[in-house]
Amino acid sequence: MRRALIAFLVVGVSLGAVLTAGAGTTAGTTKLAAKLRGANERPAAKASNKGRAEFRLTPRTGKVCWEFTIAKIDGKPNQAHIHLGKRGVSGNVIVPLGANYKRQGCTTAAKATVRAILKSPGAYYVNVHNAKHPAGAMRGQLVREA
């Protein structure tokens, strides 16, 4: 009886540890998001430009999936990227999100790049470009999704 109880406790503790380690992820996937605003761009775009971007990053494979929900933009989106840059600072493109704008999709990036984004998501931003605002029509810093 005592052996059965110990075995039961070991299995329970092991299962709890596995579930805790995997909380907030699906097979090693982490969710990030960004609130997109025209006023966040440098130079600033129209303040009424706004939307949301959601990401799923998998460091084991380098997979980066996204979905944009644009509430308002003053022109047709033509590109979107993840850039390295803190709030208010323009930075280089780190992950192009397709050759042309797509509302949703997946791409791959270097595994080290994905790990770096996940380590410090606030050091990166996503933006959406259009012909009227080639430097960016709206932008938002990446944050971890709860």
- What pTM does this model have? 0.80
pLDDT at position 19 is 36
- Angle 26-111-89 from CA coordinates, rounded to 5°: 100
Domains and CATH numbers, the chain: 25-144 (2.60.40)
pLDDT over 90 percentage in the chain: 79
Q: How far apart are CA 40 and CA 45, in angstroms?
A: 8
Q: Is the pLDDT confidence value at 4 over 60?
A: no
State pLDDT tens for residues 47-68: 999 999 999 999 999 999 999 9
User: Helices in the chain by DSSP H: which ranges?
Assistant: 2-21, 111-119
